[in-house]
Amino acid sequence: MLTLFHYPMNAGSRFTRLTLAEYAVPFTLIEELPWVRRREFLQLNPAGTVPVLLAEADQPVAGTIPILEYLDETRGSMAREKRLMPEEVFDRAEARRLTLWYLEKCENEVTRHMVRERVTRPLMPTEKGGGSPDAGALRAARSNIKQHLKYTNYLAGNRDWLAGDKLSIADLAAGATLSILDYLGELDWSGHDAAREWYARVKSRPSFRPLLQERVRGLPPSAHYADPDF
């Protein structure tokens, strides 16, 4: 069985879990606190970042995109119509572009700041950057959320799924990223009906259920977080 080192409020970790679940791959979860920088974990990934997948023969695959490529080559290529990577070359390019949009652009502009200020900073020791939330960072991140929701609404309003006619890695990347903000109650869906309907479909999938059942210690989710019909 594969083993995934993850952090629950990390978008790449969530994306990897969704991908594994969509391909019905059994796996074991080990929660890793990246700021602790455990020596044993650094031996698997010297960068000290999650996710890291222990694949066959305990071979570590570190990083969201390398894990995605590994899973597509070893599982997706045999999944036929359930493959998360589109068949056509330009469709694959679009799915990859949107995957990076959410896992990198939205992460860098919004999600990691929200998680750092609201979730991890209160847990971290002062010498590792812990302390009170930075109000300025939160204010900037909340401003950026509006543009990402607007873009998601545009995509969802013009396509069956974000990257085209079928569920793809783009939907899982967006769902993983937005679900963190949804947990924190930072999403205002007003005026974004297409995005809201798309997100309801994504969070209704069986692969999403484990994420919706999890709770961060000391930080309960928004009231509608676990409700697909929010």
Three-class HEC string of 183-199: HCCCCCCCCCHHHHHHH
Expressed in angstroms, the distance from the first to the final Cα of the chain is 35
Residue 217 in this model has a pLDDT that exceeds 90: no
Residue 16 in this model has a pLDDT that exceeds 80: yes
User: 109: closest CA among 186, 34, 188?
Assistant: 186
Please provide the average confidence, as pLDDT, over all residues in the chain.
Answer: 95
Output the pLDDT for position 121: 86
Residue 190: pLDDT band with limits 50, 70, 90:
very high
Per-residue pLDDT tens digits for 123-133: 777 776 777 78
Who's near 161: CB < 8 A, 6+ residues apart? Answer: 167, 168, 170, 171, 198
**pTM score of the predicted model:** 0.95
Output the pLDDT for position 108: 97
Mean pLDDT, rounded, for 29-46: 96
Mean pLDDT, rounded, for 90-104: 98
User: Within 107-208, where are the H helices?
Assistant: 112-115, 135-158, 169-183, 193-203
Residue 80: pLDDT band with limits 50, 70, 90:
confident
Mean pLDDT, rounded, for 10-36: 97
Per-residue pLDDT tens digits for 141-184: 999 999 999 999 999 999 999 999 999 999 999 999 999 999 99
